[in-house]
Amino acid sequence: MSKPRRTERELFPGSGATIGTRSRHGDLGSDEIRTDFQRDVHRIIYSQAFRRLRHKTQVFFFPRNDHVCTRMEHVLHVASAARTVARSLGLNEDLAEAIGLGHDIGHAPFGHEGEKILTEIIAGDKALNAVVPEFSHEINSLRVVDKIAKLDREPPGLNLTWEVRDGIVSHCGEDRITRTLKPHRGDKDLDNIKRRKDAGNPATLEGCIVRLIDKIVYVGRDIEDAITTEVIKSAEIPPDIRAALGGNNGEIVGTFLEDMVENSGQQYISISHGKADLLHELIAFNDEHIYHSEAAERYKKQAGYVLRFLFDELAQLVTLTRRFTKNGNKTNVSRVLKQFVTEDMKGRYRDQDPDSLIVLDFIAGMTDNFAVSAYIELSVPQATV
């Protein structure tokens, strides 16, 4: 006879641990082995959208150096660190891991630069702007897991728990100031959050862990990548940071995580004032020496050309073919877009949805590599015979 599965309360004994889910959009049936949040971990990592993260920019555009971090490694690092802190605090490790894995699943190609470009495109499209007022990866990540991401040949949408969806949309990757996070209390209508500023704090302690760890994990890793690519030298790291946090990524992250465990409770997640000041100093150092370095910004202008060109060309294609009810051109990108519209997302777009929303979803899901190859295919003359 098999042993009975341990309950979540046995696994995660902290008084602030999230036990069970409020809801899913649809019933998944029972599972004799996994918790609800474990199921979400698996639904995320088995999705096509998650797999594409391995070819999406973290800091440096589509790196060919296998030791430089992509968006895939970043979410794995966040999920691992979040699980470590959740375990130390007796919180729900499965929930923290699922949020960590899914928090950046809606990132555009070319990282934060792609995000800015798509926001500019939206601002210039009145019909699209009425539906999507801005492009933020937090809001788009929720849209991806709710409406676009696919598991093999299942209908689009991962049908995740409310708590994971909340942690994803509320992780606020641009929040570089907050030191202490308390979960949001009260009602929260996830389906009607349209702007980053409206998402508020996560509603769970596990979501608060991910929101704070997101910054901790990327600052140290970005330094390692900058050293690897010779953007900076290790000696340039300020001496006070090296003395207080350590000389490499593992030491930096470890120091912050220990501090977070020591300074958090069952009603809030926090790091100390001293470590918060060091984190902000480290982010400022990265801003000056890495994020605005020549290597990181070398192709910003070209990234803009690529995404704007693709948006205009593909929007025209979708409109001229009446969403591929008529034949379009025979390029590879046209074939992939047709499959997206007529198979992957069949019946998911309403007649009143602008064609530009289809194109925005399609482009936002592209890897850096596919965006560049699509641009070349559509902008450079090809042999026709």
How far apart CA 241 and CA 219 sit, in angstroms, is 12
Of residues 36 and 62, the one with the higher pLDDT is 36
- Report the candidate in 286, 266, 262 with the shortest Cα–Cα distance to residue 274: 262
Residue type at 306 in one-letter notation: V
Is the pLDDT at 235 greater than 90? The verdict is: no
| Sign of the C-alpha dihedral computed for residues 227, 231, 237 and 241 taken in this order | negative
CA 21 to chain CA centroid, nearest Å: 22
* Residue-wise pLDDT tens digits, 133-184: 999 999 999 999 999 999 988 899 999 999 999 999 999 867 778 899 999 9
* Residue-wise pLDDT tens digits, 75-97: 999 999 999 999 999 999 999 99
The reported pLDDT for the residue numbered 63 is 67
**H-state helical runs in the chain:** 8-11, 36-45, 48-51, 71-89, 93-102, 111-123, 126-131, 137-143, 162-169, 205-228, 239-245, 249-263, 273-286, 294-297, 300-320, 332-339, 355-364, 368-379
**H-state helical runs in 4-68:** 8-11, 36-45, 48-51
* Residue-wise pLDDT tens digits, 276-300: 999 999 999 888 888 888 877 788 8
Is the pLDDT at 329 greater than 80? The verdict is: no
Q: Hunting for tokens 């003395």 — which residue is that? A: 243
* Residue-wise pLDDT tens digits, 98-118: 999 999 999 999 988 999 999
Contacts of 287 (CB under 8 A, 6+ apart): none
Is the pLDDT at 203 greater than 80? The verdict is: yes
How far apart CA 102 and CA 212 sit, in angstroms, is 15
How far apart CA 334 and CA 228 sit, in angstroms, is 38
State the Cα torsion 162-165-170-176 to the nearest 10°.
Answer: 140
Domains and CATH numbers, the chain: 35-105+149-297 (1.10.3210.10), 300-378 (no CATH)
Is the pLDDT at 132 greater than 60? The verdict is: yes
Q: What is the mean pLDDT of residues 262-281?
A: 95
Whole-number percent of the chain with pLDDT over 70: 97
Is the pLDDT at 1 greater than 50? The verdict is: no
CA 299 to chain CA centroid, nearest Å: 22
Report residue 382's pLDDT band, with 50, 70 and 90 as the boundaries: confident
Report residue 248's pLDDT band, with 50, 70 and 90 as the boundaries: confident
